[in-house]
Amino acid sequence: MLLSVNIFVSLDGVMQGPGAPDEDRTGGFDRGGWLVPHASAHTSEVVEDWFHQAGAFLFGRTSFEMLRDHWSRVTDPDDRIATKLNTLPKYVVSSTLSDDEAGWALATVVRGDVVDEIRRLKALPGGELQVHGSWRLVQTLHEAGLVDVYRLLQYPVVIGTGKRLFPNGSTPATFTVKEQTSRVLPGGVVALTISPAAFGAISAGVYTVDNGRSVPVIG
């Protein structure tokens, strides 16, 4: 399965607590709910398209419990997101959660060596293995080079503090933008789909003057 990370993010890279003030107050975060004033039918359409491609889900414990508590109660058969979440396999990474405590249909707790277990899941047939939220898990996946696609909705707001998608110290990487699914939505939210092109290093260059013209030289 292709592993995709699907994230709401601010201009300064914050992905913490986008949907509600009490969604994630870790570290004293008090700016939750920053996404809601910018939500629209256009952003909903993008998110529904993300979920349409899912074959299974992978979560950290906090995001799993938050999504379970909300979406397991959404029974509208026309709700595409609820239908996917409630009927597809779900894997939650936790060293403390029991299978019984997971309490969501088709949910399995991933224990042991997380990276090896996720490599095993990626080898299974089917649609995408999708990650939503799950900040700590996303860091682990990035550092292990396991992410095939990042899908971002970047909102026109600076949060100033909070958990960042790529915090200081992240392994450097270069990405290729998939132009067919990347665009600016009405209202200014940017839908961005990127895939790793190089991992562990970034290319660099310099601007120089050649025959009176400023030109970039790469490498």
> Which CATH number fits the domain 3-218, given the four candidates 3.40.430.10, 3.40.50.1100, 3.30.300.350, 3.10.20.600?
3.40.430.10
Rounded Cα distance, 32 and 30, in Å? 6
Rounded Cα distance, 14 and 11, in Å? 7
Instruction: Give pLDDT tens digits along the chain (219 positions).
Output: 999 999 999 999 999 999 999 999 999 999 999 999 999 999 999 999 999 999 999 999 999 999 999 999 999 999 999 999 999 999 999 998 988 889 999 999 999 899 999 999 999 999 999 999 999 999 999 999 999 999 999 999 999 999 999 999 999 999 999 999 999 999 999 999 999 999 988 889 999 999 999 999 987
Q: Which residue has the tokens 């290729």?
A: 176
Q: Which residue has the tokens 């550092």?
A: 143
Rounded Cα distance, 95 and 50, in Å? 28
User: pTM of this prediction?
Assistant: 0.92
Strands (DSSP E) contained in 29-141 are 54-60, 90-93, 107-110, 128-132
Kindly list the domain boundaries of the chain, sorted by start residue.
3-218
Rounded Cα distance, 87 and 7, in Å? 21
Nearest Cα neighbor of 137 from 177, 95, 107 is 95
Rounded Cα distance, 135 and 114, in Å? 15
Nearest Cα neighbor of 45 from 174, 147, 181 is 181
Q: Which two tokens stand for residue 124?
A: 């299974």
